[in-house]
């Protein structure tokens, strides 16, 4: 069984889309990553921080998925990170209405001893200096360090971000962020520039248009599955990352060929995440459903062609 360390937010979200809105619900990058990774035979643990307003039922949900929570700090008298957003009609753009960092503002991550030798480390979207702090605590070089980031850090902590990018193996960002980071419109050119920064692999997420995997000289594209219902895209990118990281940790194979499979598994799980608000769909997801949809992915992309 592979060992996966997940670093990121465990949070409250309040979401409004054209299909409805929620009160405060469970959210956060580490939450979605761990729920996705729980679909694989992997030992996973979260490093995060919450306030004592975080319900025990949410903790119990994660524990029921065999997620180790010894690295989750609970601040007595503190309030949990909170994000509120409203999506536009196309669901590809959104307005952030409230961001309350709360206890996250003073987050000093501490990696539990039994996860310092993790095979795969998934660094969810956080301040780059926080991500670097985790790397510095590891007892040995993991087989794979995956980093997720966003344009906010490119705007506000670029030097720290560039430093942490030198120490990772896989960078996962969306197409807009890849263009901003590299000043290249072509995603092929952008990926090439990112290689020069340090990572061996680049994953560029394109939302409803799928995901691209780059290794020097090699490109793989995975489509997004066309869905009848899309309620809430909030956790889709983190669910993708959790499926990608969880599959690689479980299979103990970080070749480019196996990363293709990981991208498909990540895309497959993300397709479930968007079908309900927050974590609702991922909480009750059964393995049989996952396998059935994997067959749909295969049918979507497989074809025979006669070349002359």
Q: pLDDT in tens for each of the 308 residues of the chain?
A: 899 999 999 999 999 999 899 999 999 999 999 999 999 999 999 999 999 999 999 999 999 999 999 999 999 999 999 999 999 887 878 898 999 999 999 999 999 999 999 999 999 999 999 999 999 999 999 999 999 999 889 999 999 999 999 999 999 999 999 999 999 999 999 999 999 999 999 999 988 889 999 998 899 999 888 888 888 999 999 999 999 999 999 999 999 999 999 999 999 999 999 999 999 999 999 999 999 999 998 888 887 888 87
- CA angle in degrees (0–180, nearest 5) for 204-22-28: 40
Torsion, CA 223, CA 226, CA 230, CA 233, rounded to 10: 0
Q: End-to-end alpha-carbon separation of the chain, Å?
A: 46
Find how far residue 305's CA is from the centre of its chain. Answer: 35
Compute the 3-state secondary structure of the chain and give helix, strand, coil in percent, each to the nearest 5. 40, 25, 35
Output Rg (C-alpha) for the chain, integer angstroms: 18
Torsion over CA: 285, 290, 296, 301 (sign): positive
Instruction: Provide the pLDDT for residue 301.
Output: 81
Query: What is the reported pTM?
Result: 0.95
Instruction: Provide the pLDDT for residue 302.
Output: 82
* SS3 at position 16: strand
The Cβ-side half-sphere exposure at 21, using a 13 Å CA radius, reads 9
Whether 239 and 270 have beta carbons less than 8 Å apart is answered as: yes
245 vs 259: CA distance, rounded Å = 9
11 vs 30: CA distance, rounded Å = 9
245 vs 215: CA distance, rounded Å = 17
Strand-strand pairing, 20-21 and 11-17? antiparallel
Find how far residue 170's CA is from the centre of its chain. Answer: 12
Instruction: Provide the pLDDT for residue 308.
Output: 77
Residues 6+ apart with CB under 8 A from 209: 223, 224
Residues 6+ apart with CB under 8 A from 287: 39
Find how far residue 25's CA is from the centre of its chain. Answer: 18
Whether 179 and 154 have beta carbons less than 8 Å apart is answered as: no
């Amino acid at each position: 069984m592979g060992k996966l360390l997940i670093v990121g937010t465990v949070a409250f979200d309040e979401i409004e889309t054209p299909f409805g809105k929620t009160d405060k619900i469970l959210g956060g990058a580490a939450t979605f990553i761990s729920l996705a990774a729980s679909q694989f035979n992997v030992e996973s643990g979260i490093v995060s921080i919450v306030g004592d307003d975080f319900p025990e039922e949410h903790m119990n949900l994660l524990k029921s998925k065999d997620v180790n929570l010894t690295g989750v700090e609970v601040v007595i008298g503190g309030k949990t990170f909170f994000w509120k957003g409203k999506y536009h009609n196309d669901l590809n753009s959104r307005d952030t209405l409230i961001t309350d960092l709360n206890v996250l503002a003073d987050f000093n991550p501490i990696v539990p001893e039994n996860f310092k030798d993790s095979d795969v480390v998934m660094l969810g979207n956080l301040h780059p200096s926080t991500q670097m702090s985790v790397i510095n605590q590891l007892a040995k070089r993991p087989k794979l360090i995956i980093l997720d980031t966003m344009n906010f850090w490119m705007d506000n902590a670029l030097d720290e971000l560039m430093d942490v990018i030198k120490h990772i193996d896989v960078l996962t960002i969306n197409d807009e962020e890849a263009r901003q980071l590299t000043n290249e419109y072509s995603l092929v050119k952008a990926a090439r520039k990112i290689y020069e920064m340090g990572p061996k692999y680049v994953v560029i997420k394109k939302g409803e248009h799928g995901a691209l995997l780059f290794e020097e000289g090699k490109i793989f594209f995975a489509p997004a599955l066309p869905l009848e219902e899309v309620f809430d895209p909030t956790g889709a990118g983190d669910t993708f990352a959790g499926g990608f990281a969880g599959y690689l940790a479980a299979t103990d194979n970080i070749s480019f060929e196996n990363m293709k499979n990981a991208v498909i598994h990540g895309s497959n799980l993300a397709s479930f995440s968007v079908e309900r608000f927050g974590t609702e769909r991922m909480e009750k997801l059964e393995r049989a459903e996952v396998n059935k949809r994997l067959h749909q992915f295969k049918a979507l992309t497989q074809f025979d062609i006669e070349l002359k």
